[in-house]
């Protein structure tokens, strides 16, 4: 039988956090700014392909991150586990309430340059939160290993 320990969960959590932090930085520095260089027709075409492909990577990582945050709270309720869960839930809410509508507009061709610039600006918040989560769990794993 598989034994679930905090150490195993922490390792998986760190891997997932790393995947998400690398992904969000690539999106923030490369993908979203590139939207500004497409004409409307080409952006719609590219964006429809991009969103399908990126979802295959992002969705499993976000689901696992949420599951681990919930499991962590269940296994050991603490300020740290509650803060982590709150950040993960905030990322979900912000992603679906703020970013999904923008991506729908881009896919439908009802976007503007101003909206694309807002997308880049707003995404700094997610970039910061995912970076904080990764650094927090990375440092926590370093301390735990000592």
Task: Please list the rounded mean pLDDT of every run of 10 residues in the chain (146 residues).
Answer: 61 95 98 96 95 96 97 91 96 96 94 96 98 94 68
Q: Which pLDDT does position 141 carry in this prediction?
A: 81
Confidence (pLDDT) at 83: 94
Q: How many CB atoms lie within 10 A of CB 33?
A: 15
Cα separation, 13 vs 7, in Å, equals: 10
pLDDT at residue 138, as a whole number: 93
122: Cβ contacts below 8 Å, ≥ 6 apart: 98, 99
């Amino acid at each position: 039988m598989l034994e679930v320990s905090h150490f195993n969960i922490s390792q998986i959590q760190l891997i997932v956090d790393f995947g998400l932090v690398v992904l969000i930085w690539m999106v923030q520095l490369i993908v979203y700014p590139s939207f500004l260089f497409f004409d409307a027709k080409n952006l719609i075409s590219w964006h429809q392909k991009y969103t399908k492909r990126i979802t295959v990577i992002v969705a499993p990582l976000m689901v696992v991150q949420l599951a681990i945050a919930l499991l962590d709270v269940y296994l050991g309720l603490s300020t740290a586990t509650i803060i982590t869960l709150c950040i993960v839930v905030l990322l979900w809410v912000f992603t679906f309430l703020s970013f999904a509508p923008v991506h729908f507009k881009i896919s439908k061709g009802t976007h503007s340059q101003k909206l694309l610039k807002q997308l880049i600006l707003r995404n700094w918040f997610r970039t910061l939160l995912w970076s904080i989560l990764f650094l927090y769990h990375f440092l926590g794993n370093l301390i735990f290993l000592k």
